[in-house]
Amino acid sequence: MPTDIALTPKDFKSDQEVRWCPGCGDYAILAAVQGFMPELGIARENIVFVSGIGCSSRFPYYMNTYGMHSVHGRAPAIATGLACARPDLSVWVVTGDGDALSIGGNHLIHALRRNVNLKILLFNNEIYGLTKGQYSPTSERGKITRSTPMGSLDEPFRPLSLAIGAEASFVARTIDSDRGHLTDVLRQAAAHQGTALVEIYQNCNIFNDGAFDTLKNPATRDDALLRLEHGRPYRLAPDAEEIVHDVEDPDPTAAFTLSRLRHPTPIGVLRSVRRPAYDQLMNRQTAGAVAERGPGDLAALLAGTDSWTVRG
Amino acid sequence: MSTPPTVKQLDRVVIRFAGDSGDGMQLTGDRFTAETAGFGNDLSTLPNFPAEIRAPAGTLPGVSSFQLHFADHDILTPGDAPDILVAMNPAALRANLADLPRGAEIIVNTDEFSRRALAKVGWSASPLDDGTLEAYRVHPVALTTLTAEALKDSGLTRKDAERAKNMFALGLLSWMYHRPTEGTERFLRTKFARRPELAEANVTAFRAGWNYGETTESFAVSYEVAPAERAFAPGRHRNISGNLALSLGLVAAAERASLPLFLGSYPITPASDILHELSKHKNFGVRTFQAEDEIAGIGAALGAAFGGALGVTTTSGPGVALKSETIGLAVSLELPLLVVDIQRGGPSTGLPTKTEQADLLQAMFGRNGEAPVPVLAPATPADCFTAALDAARIALTYRTPVFLLSDGYLANGSEPWRIPDVAELPDLRVEFATAPNRPDGSFWPYQRDPETLARPWAVPGTPGLEHRIGGIEKQDGTGNISYDPANHDHMVRLRQAKVDGIAVPDLEVDDPSGDARLLVLGWGSTYGPIAAAVSEVRAAGGRVATAHLRHLNPFPANLGAALRRYDRVLVPEMNLGQLALLLRARFLVDVRSHTQVSGMPFKAAQLAAVIEENAKNTEATGAH
């Protein structure tokens, strides 16, 4: 799959006008992804972006690769079929907190547990943007929105806890405005075998502006963020014991503990364990069946084992 | 020794095996069918079982039955009423008694007729003693005891030995109807290859049943039904169920298209057997994906189609309801996709194991927006093979999702099938787009073939053709997002025109007298009962024309003219008149609807009465 053609970020820009609101965090993510893609060393024709519905799901239109803007919540299912039928492709899913965790929650958890070779970018802005400002499954309890004038009642999902609970083999978090960090996480996700879930905190400047300001403001971010790096120590609290971060730990307990942490908020890769990818296993079965029984003989299949002849 | 039993020649027989869900009646019926197929009779089967895996033993809801009609001539249905009923317990007798004509034979397993078992089905006295069965020829047989007796040296516990009583019954019936036995013995030895003691026990019970018929005087008569030599075209034949034929049709379609087959499916009765069957054929490059739900099943199939596979999803009515949004996406993406709906009783969960044709309007219209989808339906179990190939042809040629509407009756029923030569199957090869299609070297994903209106199928991995598609309205040609009012109007009409323009063969009307004034028109699995009923009416001197629709969308081009040629058009359907509604709306023809929604196929005799009455009324009124 690696290509000799030297591609530039510009090669990944489609001819379509980008139509997000001015100031939307999605622009920064698009630029980071387009900037990172040449590094992959994969020809454009072998890359596919699949999305569901929502602001973030317009993403494929802006990438000069193959792409599909599909049905609300169903991108992981559609991408699963594509990745299984075409293990030669690099398949990316772009989704949002409503698309992935509300209407499409079922497909997300099953893609994660199967470990299909998909890279899922979950743009989490903790609000519904495209439908104009209702609370989302990641909005904090008590959120005042157009659909919850007296405050929302339900407990939010923590996407990374959900992912780890769903047997995800790769779980990471990053922030739209931190291009260096975002790119580094994308790099690790792309290198991962199987499903990689990357939660990207993304600012919706229209309906939920400033949701992640504490994590972005130079005055507060050093205290608010816990930057995780494999092999480096971290503390869960200033006076807590040092723990050496091990993304490959087969026991998900430490990663799960990190996924629950809010102050500080961990960013980086929480978990990255090796497990066979579903599409590889599926294609191994197909190849194994051919090796064992030979390529299918249609005439023999149609004839079956219990037939008789009628003479004319 | 007694005198040798009399052998009677029959031209056709209908047998029904009935017992508890756990009595192995489906297996017994399958084996009798296999023996009968191998013997060369024409045949048609009707399995009928409850949705519960094991309903409480001995109760009416727990009764499972298998009906088989076989003959020395061409037959079209599993038969209206059994000539002989095998009842393994009181529930099986009570549940099936009303279907028996006077004079029918009944073999009852007397061992199960305890006071308690009788009470379970509401009988205070035994029908074997109180005259209930006076109108029938009853053969009381202690099936359970005789089986246990035959297996007393087998080393099996009495309980395990008694489980072989279905094979004793099969042996007895095999003797009664002179069926070959080698196939069943071979089958049992293969089935229980890992448990040789069970294989031997079943073979012993099977032979004991045969010998019981041969040696006891309870059965004075046995029957022969000669092979149906003239019913079959020359060639190799096998017996095949609708779901098996459909599965093989899908594998054949993929082979003939040189595309990998990808099935995305969620288990649902009565479609799951297609998933089971296809999962056995991975050496054909078949990939089967058991999805987390119905929506993911079709989603994965559509994703695979985008990647260049022959994408298929299989389901039943409730699953179609869940898939509707993705079918709409496939309409908008203009990608090939097969949606196989094995219809069952509805609405909601309805009758999962029973048959119905009530998803026609759902297939036609069950989506948001103007979202036309081609619809076709197989007519018989074996025809499911051809219909699958036909559905694939349409999907691949026109780049569209296609509905294939089978049903529970076709899925589980079986009939002999002439095995086709691979070379005679249609060539379904497709050409993927490989190069830019614009003078300026760019690629338009919605530039259409002027004849079919199909768009190019450009699969990921093809350099220079990178493009984005989606469910938002797009500009014709470029495929770019477009909210332009005129473009949307154009695209809606264009998608409709593409489906309307699909090439389907003309309707063939069968009107042997040439002067019939009544046309009976059917679709799907009503083919057999309608054909059998029409032939009864004609035999009695009635004049009636008949035709059967394979294509429900688009209709054959000559359909309107065909309808208008007759004074009356009668449409029998297992719904409340869905095809009739379409015909009335489309052709302004005053179609008469005859409907039955009982979960069971039409009975030929009942249908014949309806047709005859309609024929008479038509003759009695007005001129042509």
Cβ of residue B327 closer than 8 Å to a chain A Cβ:
no
Give me the pLDDT at residue A305, please.
Answer: 87
Residue B307 has its nearest CB partner, among A14, A47, A85, at A85
Asked if B9 and B54 touch (Cβ cutoff 8 Å), the reply is no
Per-residue pLDDT tens digits for B392-433: 999 999 999 999 999 999 999 999 999 999 999 999 999 999
* Domain ranges (residues) in chain A: 9-292
Q: What is the mean pLDDT of chain B?
A: 96
Interhelix angle B165-176/B196-215, rounded to 10 degrees, is 40
The answer for B 98-127 residues in CB contact with A (under 8 A) is none
B482 pLDDT more than 60: yes
B26 pLDDT more than 90: yes
ipTM of the complex: 0.97
Instruction: Among B424, B449, B464, give the residue marking a domain's end.
Output: B424
Task: Name the residue of chain B whose CA is nearest to A113's CA.
Answer: B292
B248 pLDDT more than 90: yes
Chain B residues with beta carbon closer than 8 angstroms to that of A84: 262, 287, 289, 300, 304
Cα atoms in the 13 Å half-sphere on the side-chain side of A160: 28
Q: Three-state SS for B519? A: strand
Q: Which pLDDT band holds residue B571 (cuts at 50, 70, 90)?
A: very high
B34 is in which domain, residue-wise?
6-228
Residues B108 and B216 in one domain: yes
CB contact under 8 A, B303 and A110: no
Residues B197 and B281 in one domain: no
How many CB atoms neighbour CB B593 within 10 A?
18
Distance between the two ends of chain A, CA-based, in angstroms?
A: 57
Residues B252 and B361 in one domain: yes
Dist CA B593 CA B579 (whole Å): 9
Residue pointed to by tokens 């059994």: B82
Residues B177 and B265 in one domain: no
Q: How many CB pairs under 8 A join A and B?
A: 211
The answer for B 499-518 residues in CB contact with A (under 8 A) is none
A54 sits in the region (left: phi over 0; alpha: psi -120 to 50; else beta) called left
Residues B310 and B213 in one domain: no
Residues B261 and B380 in one domain: yes
How many domains does chain B contain in total? 3
B441 to chain A, closest Cα gap in Å: 15
Residues B245 and B223 in one domain: no
Chain B residues with beta carbon closer than 8 angstroms to that of A74: 295-296, 299, 326
Cβ of residue B285 closer than 8 Å to a chain A Cβ:
yes
Give me the pLDDT at residue B231, please.
Answer: 84
3-state helix, strand, coil in chain B (%, to 5): 40, 20, 40
Task: Name the residue of chain B whose CA is nearest to A83's CA.
Answer: B304
Backbone angles phi, psi at B245, to 5 degrees: -60, -40
> A13, A42, A64, A84: best mutation site toward chain B, by most B Cβ within 10 Å?
A84
Over the Cα atoms of chain A, what is R_g?
22
Over the Cα atoms of chain B, what is R_g?
27
Prediction pTM value: 0.95
pLDDT tens string for chain A (312 positions)? 455 568 999 999 999 999 999 999 999 999 999 999 999 999 999 999 999 999 999 999 999 999 999 999 999 999 999 999 999 999 999 999 999 999 999 999 999 999 999 999 999 999 999 999 999 999 999 999 999 999 999 999 999 999 999 999 999 999 999 999 999 999 999 999 999 999 999 999 999 999 999 999 999 999 999 999 999 999 998 899 999 999 999 999 999 999 999 999 999 999 999 999 999 999 999 999 999 999 999 999 999 988 888 886
Domain of B349, CATH number, reads: 3.40.50.970
Chain A residues with beta carbon closer than 8 angstroms to that of B262: 81, 84-85
A41 to chain B, closest Cα gap in Å: 14
Per-residue pLDDT tens digits for B118-144: 999 999 999 999 999 999 999 999 999
Dist CA A28 CA A34 (whole Å): 10
Residues B283 and B311 in one domain: yes
- Which CATH number is correct for A9-292, 3.20.20.70, 3.40.50.970, 3.90.1150.10, 1.10.1740.10? 3.40.50.970
How many CB atoms neighbour CB A167 within 10 A?
16
Tokens representing B511 are 């009107």
Chain B residues with beta carbon closer than 8 angstroms to that of A108: none
β-pairing, A196-201 vs A225-227, is unpaired
Task: Name the residue of chain A whose CA is nearest to B421's CA.
Answer: A299
Q: In the structure, how many helices (H) and strands (E) does chain B have?
A: 20, 22
Considering Cα of A95, then A98, then A102, then A103, what sign does the dihedral take? negative
Instruction: Among B191, B206, B228, give the residue marking a domain's end.
Output: B228
Distance between the two ends of chain B, CA-based, in angstroms?
A: 69
> A308, A309, A311: best mutation site toward chain B, by most B Cβ within 10 Å?
A308
Q: Which of B147, B175, B116, B130 is nearest to B24 (CA)?
A: B147
CB contact under 8 A, A299 and B304: no
β-pairing, A225-227 vs B105-109, is unpaired
Residue pointed to by tokens 């294609």: A283
Cβ of residue B254 closer than 8 Å to a chain A Cβ:
no
Tokens representing B150 are 């035959």
Asked if B246 and B340 touch (Cβ cutoff 8 Å), the reply is yes
Backbone angles phi, psi at B401, to 5 degrees: -65, 150
Chain A residues with beta carbon closer than 8 angstroms to that of B307: 81-82, 85-86, 89
Q: Which of B403, B400, B505, B503 is nearest to B454 (CA)?
A: B400
Instruction: Among B387, B409, B424, give the residue marking a domain's end.
Output: B424
The answer for B 416-445 residues in CB contact with A (under 8 A) is 418-422
Dist CA B126 CA B572 (whole Å): 40
Dist CA B270 CA B51 (whole Å): 10
Cβ of residue B322 closer than 8 Å to a chain A Cβ:
no
Give me the pLDDT at residue B259, please.
Answer: 98
Q: Which of B144, B10, B3 is nearest to B69 (CA)?
A: B10
Dist CA B123 CA B115 (whole Å): 9
Task: Name the residue of chain B whose CA is nearest to A86's CA.
Answer: B307
Q: For the CA atoms of B182, B184, B186, B190, what is the dihedral angle to 10 degrees?
A: 180
CB contact under 8 A, B299 and A296: no
CB contact under 8 A, B422 and A302: yes
Q: Which of B506, B505, B549 is nearest to B525 (CA)?
A: B549
Partners of A92 in the β-ladder: A49, A119
Dist CA B506 CA B562 (whole Å): 10
Residue A46 has its nearest CB partner, among B251, B309, B461, at B461
DSSP per-residue string spanning B121-138: TT-SS-TTTSSTTTTSEE
CB contact under 8 A, A107 and B237: no
Cβ of residue B301 closer than 8 Å to a chain A Cβ:
yes
CB contact under 8 A, B284 and A81: no
Cβ of residue B329 closer than 8 Å to a chain A Cβ:
yes
Within-domain flag for B511: no
What single letter denotes the amino acid at residue B383?
A: D
Cα atoms in the 13 Å half-sphere on the side-chain side of A39: 13
Residue pointed to by tokens 């007519």: B379
Chain A residues with beta carbon closer than 8 angstroms to that of B183: 306
Task: Name the residue of chain B whose CA is nearest to A282's CA.
Answer: B287
> Residues in chain B, how many?
624
How many CB atoms neighbour CB B238 within 10 A?
22
Residues B418 and B526 in one domain: no
Asked if B320 and B441 touch (Cβ cutoff 8 Å), the reply is no
Interhelix angle A105-114/A75-85, rounded to 10 degrees, is 30
Chain B residues with beta carbon closer than 8 angstroms to that of A81: 262, 264, 289, 299-305, 307, 311
Asked if B264 and B298 touch (Cβ cutoff 8 Å), the reply is yes
Within-domain flag for B586: yes
Dist CA B579 CA B592 (whole Å): 11
Give me the pLDDT at residue A310, please.
Answer: 85
3-state helix, strand, coil in chain A (%, to 5): 35, 20, 45
* Residue A5: Cβ-neighbour burial (10 angstroms; 0-12, 13-18, 19+): exposed
Q: For residue B532, give the H/E element and its range.
A: helix B527-539
Tokens representing B562 are 């065909």
Residues B370 and B404 in one domain: yes
Tokens representing B107 are 């073999």
> B468, B469, B483: best mutation site toward chain A, by most A Cβ within 10 Å?
B468
Q: For residue A270, give the H/E element and its range.
A: strand A265-272
Within-domain flag for B546: yes
Per-residue pLDDT tens digits for B438-479: 999 999 999 999 999 999 999 999 999 999 999 999 999 999
* Residue B227: Cβ-neighbour burial (10 angstroms; 0-12, 13-18, 19+): middle
Residue A299 has its nearest CB partner, among B238, B326, B422, at B422
Give me the pLDDT at residue A5, please.
Answer: 67
Residues B412 and B533 in one domain: no
Q: Which pLDDT band holds residue B4 (cuts at 50, 70, 90)?
A: low
How many CB atoms neighbour CB A23 within 10 A?
12
Domain of B570, CATH number, reads: 3.40.50.920
Dist CA A70 CA B535 (whole Å): 51
Residues B348 and B213 in one domain: no
DSSP per-residue string spanning B554-607: SPPTTHHHHHHTSSEEEEEESSSSHHHHHHHHHH---PEEEE--SSSPPPHHHH
Cβ of residue B251 closer than 8 Å to a chain A Cβ:
yes
What single letter denotes the amino acid at residue A193?
A: Q
Chain A residues with beta carbon closer than 8 angstroms to that of B309: 85
Task: Name the residue of chain A whose CA is nearest to B228's CA.
Answer: A310
Chain B residues with beta carbon closer than 8 angstroms to that of A110: 291-292, 296
CB contact under 8 A, B303 and A306: no
Dist CA A264 CA A238 (whole Å): 10
Q: Which pLDDT band holds residue B96 (cuts at 50, 70, 90)?
A: very high
CB contact under 8 A, B461 and A299: no
